[in-house]
């Protein structure tokens, strides 16, 4: 049995430090080795204790969490899980942190929440196990494919991702031209963050990116991100595909669930679809991707070397759901090849 994950908890609130530490300490495979109230204390604690993982508050005195994260990633790269308020400002800062190289994020609980930080221990253990090299991504984005180089066919694209998905989706979608195939995405993240993430993707990418709305028709040049919260994103209507937001219990512990999205795409799009499963913990999306492949869709999975967590793509690959495994930087181009119109007509 592997040693417990050694964690340093960094937050300016003693109450929050105590709550996070208590939640993590309740898991026998996690060991809270120290606490720090600001970046200066955290810097000394990291030098002294050499933790496997750091939980880091976004808003702190002296130096905020984002500034401190940049220093960590530049001087001593390691897994960091951001702890953020569930506000627009907190979401924007957290998304920036995930782009810098944070492993994952969790939201601070609302008063009276029954299971505060419910999945934090699992995220900490996954972070401690990862073999990923935590390095700062390039500051200059890759330019999108020219519209002149791409003629879209009739296929739609469905993408599922979780831990590490913010960076992965940016890498994939920045390869898309403005006339990209209609694309639907389920990314696991706190409900308050998905609108900010869609807005961020819209600024960074050539196509239009927006939170999916119930009944929105899938159009060329648009990307639809499942909103977090109480509903799953599905695709409906084979003759005129559109988004459906459906109230159902969580699937695989998630709402929205990648499996729910992929199942609907298998049913209503069949061979006129491409399914893509990216980095993430657990197995959500694997069974749905297999249904897509059985229905005639093309399917792609991110390879182990470029995943933050090789969980969802691994299960999908082992089930036989993945037609091709590719490094992250090749997935965007491959999607375009699979969805491009043929010279004789369209697919």
Query: Is residue 254 annotated as a catalytic residue, yes or no?
Result: no
User: How far, in Å, CA of 306 to CA of 167, rounded?
Assistant: 11
- Catalytic residue of the set 161, 162, 196, 257: 162
Is 51 within 8 Å of 148 (Cβ atoms)? no
107, containing H or E segment: strand 104-107
Query: What sign does the CA torsion over 146, 148, 150, 151 have?
Result: positive
Nearest to 186 by CA among 142, 243, 238: 243
Tokens linked to 103: 């492993």
Query: Is residue 232 annotated as a catalytic residue, yes or no?
Result: no
- Catalytic residue of the set 11, 188, 232, 254: 188
Query: Is residue 188 annotated as a catalytic residue, yes or no?
Result: yes
Residue 267, burial from CB neighbour count under 10 angstroms (0-12, 13-18, 19+)? middle
Q: Edge-to-edge strands of the sheet including 208-211?
A: 208-211, 222-225, 183-187, 156-161, 273-277, 298-302, 324-326
Is 179 within 8 Å of 152 (Cβ atoms)? yes
State the Cα angle at 225 between 122 and 173, rounded to 5°: 95
Active-site annotation, residues: 162, 188, 284
């Amino acid at each position: 049995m592997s040693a417990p994950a050694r964690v340093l908890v960094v937050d300016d609130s003693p109450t929050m430090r105590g709550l996070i530490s208590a939640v993590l300490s309740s898991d026998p495979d996690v060991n809270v080795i120290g606490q720090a109230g600001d970046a200066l204390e955290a810097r000394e604690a990291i030098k002294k204790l050499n933790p496997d993982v750091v939980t880091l508050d976004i808003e702190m005195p002296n130096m905020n969490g984002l500034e401190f994260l940049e220093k960590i990633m530049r001087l001593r790269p390691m897994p960091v899980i951001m702890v953020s308020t569930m506000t627009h400002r907190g979401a924007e800062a957290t998304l920036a942190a995930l782009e810098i190289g944070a492993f994952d994020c969790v939201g601070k609980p609302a008063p009276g929440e029954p299971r505060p930080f419910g999945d934090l221990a699992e995220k900490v253990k996954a972070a401690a196990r990862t073999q990923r090299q935590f390095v700062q991504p390039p500051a200059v984005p890759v330019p999108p494919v020219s519209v002149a180089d791409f003629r879209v066919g009739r296929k739609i694209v469905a993408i599922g991702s979780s831990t590490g998905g913010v960076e992965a989706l940016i890498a994939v979608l920045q390869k898309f031209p403005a006339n990209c195939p209609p694309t639907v995405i389920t990314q696991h993240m706190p409900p308050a963050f998905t609108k900010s993430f869609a807005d961020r993707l819209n600024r960074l990418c050539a196509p239009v990116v927006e939170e999916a709305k119930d009944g929105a028709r899938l159009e060329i040049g648009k990307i639809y991100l499942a909103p977090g919260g109480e509903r799953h994103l599905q695709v409906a209507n084979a003759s005129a595909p559109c988004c459906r937001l459906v109230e159902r219990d969580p699937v695989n512990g998630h709402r929205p669930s990648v499996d729910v999205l992929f199942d609907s795409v298998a049913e209503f799009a069949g061979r006129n679809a491409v399914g893509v499963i990216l980095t993430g913990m657990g197995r959500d999306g694997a069974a749905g991707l297999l249904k897509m492949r059985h229905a005639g869709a093309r399917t792609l999975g991110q390879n182990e070397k470029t995943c933050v967590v090789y969980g969802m793509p691994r299960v999908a690959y082992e089930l036989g759901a993945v037609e091709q495994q590719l490094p992250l930087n090749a997935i965007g181009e491959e999607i375009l090849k699979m969805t491009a119109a043929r010279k004789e007509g369209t697919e």
